[in-house]
Amino acid sequence: MRLVLLGPPGAGKGTQAALLSEKLNIPHISTGDLFRANIGEGTPLGLEAKEYIDAGKLVPTDVTARMVKARLAEDDAKNGFLLDGFPRTVEQAEILAEFLKEQDQKLDGVLNFRVSEDVVVERMLARGRADDNEETIRTRMAVYRDETAPLIDHYGDAIINIEAEGEVEEINERAMKALGK
């Protein structure tokens, strides 16, 4: 299966993606994780991405798309993937669609994790990642509203809504069921 995961920052996409990846046996490809790995290794891409991530802004699309395409071209992603954190804008969705079309592939669905703003702020403050301070969280929520939320309309009928408040296992069951598993 080729799936995209959507949802506001702090929606728990990463947690759910890890579970789904294991159950569906497809790789979890997280742009946030890829960036953080690059930052940890001090690569040029990591150095460039860091200033944007620390400010809660989107990393420029050309940099992000190049990284994602390289990852999708690896062997383990040939038969399916869970994309977490990409696309985050309509422009990125168009780049992804073009990339998949070139290989005669298409998405099977877009899981949209729905949570209230109160819950996401609470979750982010609790996990305490370097970019999880209050000001950055506010910026990321605004970026989500302005740039990412329009993807819900963009993907239209491909959207599979998942209510993402509650226990991790419970949410995972909802997602598996929504996928017919």
Q: Is 64 in the site for ligand ADP (CB under 6 A)?
A: yes
The distance from CA 154 to its chain's CA centroid, rounded to whole angstroms, is 16
Q: Per the omega criterion (within 30 degrees of 0), is the bond before 44 cis?
A: no
Q: Torsion-angle region of residue 118: left (phi > 0), alpha (psi -120 to 50) or beta?
A: alpha
Is 57 annotated in some ligand binding site? Answer: yes
Residue nearest to ligand ADP (CB): 32
Closest CA to 27 of 95, 97, 85, 79: 79
Is 105 annotated in some ligand binding site? Answer: no
Q: Is 58 in the site for ligand ADP (CB under 6 A)?
A: yes
CB of 61 to ligand ADP, least distance (A): 6
Binding mask of the shown chain, residues 32 to 51, with x at each position contacting ligand ADP by CB under 6 A: x--x----------------
Q: How crowded is residue 6: how many other Cβ atoms within 10 Å of its Cβ? A: 26
Label residue 33 exposed, middle or buried (CB < 10 Å: 0-12, 13-18, 19+): middle
Query: Binding-site residues, please?
Result: 10-15, 31, 36, 57-59, 85-88, 92, 127, 129, 140, 166
Residues that bind ligand ADP (CB under 6 A): 9-10, 13, 31-32, 35, 52-53, 56-59, 64, 85-86, 88, 92, 140
Query: Binding-site residues for AMP, please?
Result: 31, 36, 57-59, 85-88, 92, 129, 140
